[in-house]
Every structure is written in C-alpha cells, then in structure tokens.
Amino acid sequence: MNPRCCIAVAVAFALACSLPAQEPAPIRAKVGKAIAAVDPARIEATVRTLVGFGTRHVLSRTDSETEGTGAARKWLRAQFDAIAATTGGRLQVTLHDEMAPCVRPNMPKEIRVVNVVATLLGASDPERIYVVGGHYDSRNSTGEDGSGAAPGAVDDASGTAVALEACRVLAAESFPATIVFVAFDGEEQGLVGSGALAKAMAIAGKKVDGMLGCDIVGNTLGMDGARYDRHVRCFSYAASGSDSLGRSLARAVAFAARTHVPDFGVKLILRGDRYGRGGDHRSFFEQGYPAVRLSEPREDFSRQHQDVVAREGKPYGDLPEWCDFAYTANVTRVVIATLAELASAPPPPRVINAQLRRDRYDTELVYELPGNVAGCEFVWRETTEADWTHTIDMAAAAPQATKSGRLLATLKGVCLDDAVVGVRSIGADGSRSRVATPPEPDRFDQRPRTAAGSTETGK
C-alpha cells in the first residue's frame, strides 16, 4: 500500500469511528423507554370501566356518578387529572364544552358535546401541536337511543384507552412540541365533538402538524374466523391526487412503527376512511390539518352500533370480551412512537419547488430549513409506490445556498417526472419530522374548464 492510500484508509477509519451512526440515536432510547412503559392491563381497565357506565350516548344522563355519559367524562377527566398531578404543570386538563349543531335524523338540532382535552405543553416549540384522540361516546342499534345499553368497547373505548395510556406514558417525558390528548364526544352523531374542537383550534390559529384518530382498535378476530393482530390500518384523505399532508403524516406513522415497533406493522390505506363511514380525523382534515385514522385490520360489524342480543344463536353487541388488549397495546406503541418522534423533531422543512434538470436526469429541490435542525434527508419513491422507498442523506445531495438564501439540493438520477420527492428535518437527537413535498404537477382544478365540464389537459 502506498503512503497516500495509508493516509486515506486512516482518515476513513477515523471518520467511521466518529460517525454518530455507530451508536443508536438518542431518540431511539427515549422512544424505546416510552414504548416499554405501555401497560395492556391499564388499557383493559379503561375499556371495562367505560363499558361499566352502561351507555355513553350524547343524550344519556349526566346527573349520575355511575351511569351515562356524564359519569364517563367525569371519570376520564379524573384519570387525566391524576396524570397531570405528576407533571409539575406541564400537562393541563380542560373540558371543551359546547352546544353544537347536529344533522342526524331524529336527533335534536343542537346537542351538547364535551371533549376531555389534556395538553402536554411543548418545552421549546409549544405552538406546534400534535393531537391524538378516540371518541368516548357510544351508540346501539338505535342512533338516538340515550338510555339503552351501548357498551362501545371496541367502538370506541379502545381508541379512548389508547389516548389515555399514551398520555400517561408520554407525560413522564418532555418534548419540544405540544401533544394534545383528547377523548372526543359526539362522534357517533356526525363527528360533532371533534368538529367543534378542530374548528375552534383553526379559528384560534393553532398550528396542528398532525392528528391521529384512533377508532375501532380492539378486535382482532375477523368475521372469517381468522386472527388479524399484526398490523393496524392507517387511513388518510387526499383532496386530489395521491399525496396530501395526511398522506405525509401516514408515512410518518409507518416510519415510526418501522423504526421503533419493528414487530408490528402499519398498513397504509390510501383512502380517507372506510366506505360510507367517518371518524374524528375527518374533522381535522376539513380544517386543513394533516390527519389519519388508525383502525384494526378486519372489523366485525356484529360488534358495532348493535344492541347486545343473540339472534339465531349469534351474539351481537360491542362488549369487552371481543377486545384483544395486547393488540390495543401495540396500537398504543405505534401512536407513542409517532408522537414522540414528531414532537421531538424540528418542524418539517418548507419546500419551495422541485424541477428536473434539462441536461440530465437529476432532480433539484429548493427548500428552507427551520432554525433548530441538525440536518435533513431526502426521500423519494415512484409515483405508484405507497411509501418512500429511497433515502438520500444530506451530504450526497450537496445542498447549495441560492441567491435568495434558500437551499438547493440535487437528487442524482431521480427523474422527477416519474417520482415523488421530499425532504424531512433531523433533530440533534436523530428524530425525524414529517416529509415535506413539492406540489404535484397535475392540478387540474387550476386549468380552464371546457363547456362539457371536463378539463383541458393539453395545449
């Protein structure tokens, strides 16, 4: 070996020894500790307690300590308050109590909804908010029945239990951004509680960078008799095309699960929700916030919105015996991994535009980074792929400052016309933000309409 080679090898060795990639990023230890604290027994106790109130219908009684929706929210508030008492004021619990319009048939035109809201204030970037919630209200076969039994164990005591357990675990830590844990009311009456809260947050100018709706996350026994307990479905709306803020959040959920909960999967469903169904994430999507819905892989519809009866020997009704609490604990781990990663990370970069070079198949991305990043990385995928398939580190993309003070990175060999590209921020602890992407080119709504109502697509 000649001397120059020796020096090169020595330098390479020294660099390899000093690379932080040799050690797990601090975010891994932080998230790992949180995930290890998830307690399936607490999730079970929450579901059974909520079921024990008989019904949590919005029209059920509010004058009892043991029955009806009033007792349910008092109990939920007490649980959040007990967590808050351990945080030195970092967790604040409030009731969002509102008379809101209801358009459901046979229901009053206005109903009272009371969301239980626990806010874990961010330490350094409290204006940036992540929301997680399940709905504590329930119903039976008759949508307006406020007195009959409506146990709502899977739909949605399970999602409420996820939010409460995630709060208990994450409130033990501090995060740069704010995390809001919500038990929503009035979901079964047309997303009334989440609609009121999302609207109030939008009017107040709240910056919600992600909302995770947990709804129907407890049953793993399919109607075909098979067990489905190794993944959770993640639904996300897109107003047009295949990309949206919600899809970006969905991919961040999948990334967090792959990174921190490797033995449990997230299945991206590139659709806002199930056919003919809705959920609280929709309320946040409608206010322009990134939002997704987490739901079990295979629903058993005999457990949802049903009176507790047996018909021809088959049991109906949403009871705790159909809940798989170990499964709900895994969904909680995915939620915790996502929230801890995103609330630890800097905000996503701001992408100005992307263009394909005219002299070779390289994509140039122009973007701005937030102030407190350690770096960033670039991702891309073919337009037909559901999730990011390629990562390019910052050094390989060699960002240059532009005349206007922005950054221009070069993604070598990435043909923008066939791919979706994006960039995410990396924090000093190795945490990753959501990916920010440039606008899609096929915005038909910006083009002149023909008389026939179709759109012009060419010159």
Angle, CA of 263, 266 and 271, to the nearest 5°? 170
CB of 187 to Zn ion, least distance (A): 6
Please give the structure tokens belonging to residue 352. 């100005």
Please give the structure tokens belonging to residue 301. 């519809």
| 144 vs 147: CA distance, rounded Å | 9
| 65 vs 47: CA distance, rounded Å | 17
- Comparing CB distances to Zn ion, the nearer of 215 and 296 is 215
Identify the H or E element spanning 183: strand 177-184
Question: What DSSP letter does each residue of 14-58 carry, written as one string?
Answer: HHHHH-GGGS--HHHHHHHHHHHT--HHHHHHHHHHHHTTSB--T
- Comparing CB distances to Zn ion, the nearer of 120 and 234 is 234
CB of 135 to Zn ion, least distance (A): 6
- Comparing CB distances to Zn ion, the nearer of 32 and 146 is 146
Interface residues with Zn ion (CB under 5 A) are 155-156, 215
The amino acid at 135: H
Map residue 291 onto helix, strand or coil: strand
- Comparing CB distances to Zn ion, the nearer of 156 and 209 is 156
CA dihedral 187, 190, 192, 196 (to 10 degrees): 120
Identify the H or E element spanning 254: helix 245-260
The amino acid at 132: V
Please give the structure tokens belonging to residue 231. 């993944």
Contact 231, 327 (CB under 8 A): no
DSSP state of 64: -
- Comparing CB distances to Zn ion, the nearer of 297 and 399 is 297
CB of 322 to Zn ion, least distance (A): 14
CB of 40 to Zn ion, least distance (A): 21
- Comparing CB distances to Zn ion, the nearer of 67 and 296 is 296
Contact 119, 171 (CB under 8 A): no
Bridge partners of 115, per DSSP, are 96
| 363 vs 343: CA distance, rounded Å | 30
CB of 286 to Zn ion, least distance (A): 17
- Comparing CB distances to Zn ion, the nearer of 323 and 369 is 323
CB of 159 to Zn ion, least distance (A): 7
| 392 vs 378: CA distance, rounded Å | 5
- Comparing CB distances to Zn ion, the nearer of 148 and 370 is 148
CB of 155 to Zn ion, least distance (A): 4
